[in-house]
Amino acid sequence: MEAMWLLCVAAAVVAWGFLWVWDSSERVKSREQGGRLGAESRTLLAIAHPDDEAMFFAPTVLGLARLRHWVYLLCFSAGNYYNQGETRKKELLQSCDVLGIPLSRVMIIDSRDFPDDPGVQWDTEHVASVLLQHIEVNGINLVVTFDAGGVSGHSNHIALYAAVRVLHSEGKLPKGCSVLTLQSVNVLRKYVSLLDLPLSLLHTQDVLFVLNSKEVAQAKRAMSCHRSQLLWFRRLYILFSRYMRINSLSFL
């Protein structure tokens, strides 16, 4: 009897959650009409390493595709921490192809100024300068990157947030250019997949992207392109992480 009661409660929560997904989509449409997340915008996804685009941002990339955004990707390193930089650059291009980002809109920075190393603090002003250059050259009106927690706490992720925060706070972004940051969550929420949906609906401040089953398969194919990174714990990540299915984002 108790088990049946729990199943009923779970079913009610899931049903409630999907009703809120519908409502969330309506809110996104309203915001789209308002111009903050409009159709056919030019969006720059700024990441630190090859595989960030699939491991963390796949729901955002695919969600923006629904809104017919032109998505550009700027990767600040080749991911050469284990001397696999050349391999990882090729994997990134394959992943972008799966996610629908044209290779002509993908830029990979392979510079000693931005090493793939959690023990190295990237220079905020230098990151901001490079980021601003790509925003201006490509006519970007929406920038998407990590928040202050960097999702995983990696210092390179956090450096991107620090740079875009500087550009935003100092008024250096072009007129009409907005910034969305991917919300970090605690470890428990991070690994409960779609079970996190009700909390995501409650705590999302601005934009929520939830993938359907077809899009989840697409996100997994993109992540599978990063063969050099598919260690056992990342395979578990693909199975259980909410970031392969749900992205909650906030405007600066």
CA dihedral 107, 68, 37, 14 (to 10 degrees): -110
Q: Which residue has the tokens 């999907």?
A: 18
Start-to-end C-alpha separation, the chain: 48
User: What mean pLDDT do residues 169-185 have?
Assistant: 97
The better pLDDT of the pair 4, 85 is held by 85
DSSP 3-state percent helix, strand, coil across the chain (nearest 5)? 55, 15, 35
Q: Residue 184 carries which DSSP code?
A: P
Angle of CA points 216, 234, 50, to nearest 5°: 80
pTM equals: 0.86
**pLDDT tens by residue, 7-65:** 444 444 454 455 444 444 444 443 443 345 766 799 999 999 999 999 999 999 999 99
Note the pLDDT of residue 2: 53
User: What mean pLDDT do residues 128-150 have?
Assistant: 98
User: What mean pLDDT do residues 190-197 have?
Assistant: 91
Q: Are strands 70-75 and 42-47 parallel, antiparallel or unpaired?
A: parallel
Residue 99 corresponds to which amino acid? L
Confidence of residue 194 (pLDDT cuts 50, 70, 90): confident
The better pLDDT of the pair 197, 60 is held by 60
User: What mean pLDDT do residues 107-127 have?
Assistant: 97
Distance CA 58, CA 130 (A): 24
Q: Over the chain, what is the mean pLDDT?
A: 88
Note the pLDDT of residue 202: 87
User: What mean pLDDT do residues 208-217 have?
Assistant: 96
Helix boundaries (H) for the chain:
2-34, 52-55, 58-66, 85-99, 124-137, 155-169, 187-190, 197-203, 213-224, 232-240
Q: Are strands 142-146 and 106-108 parallel, antiparallel or unpaired?
A: unpaired
User: What mean pLDDT do residues 225-233 have?
Assistant: 96
Helix boundaries (H) for 73-123:
85-99
The better pLDDT of the pair 11, 189 is held by 189
Which whole-number Å values give the CA distances from 18 to 27, 28, 30, 136, in the listed order? 14, 15, 19, 39
The better pLDDT of the pair 6, 223 is held by 223
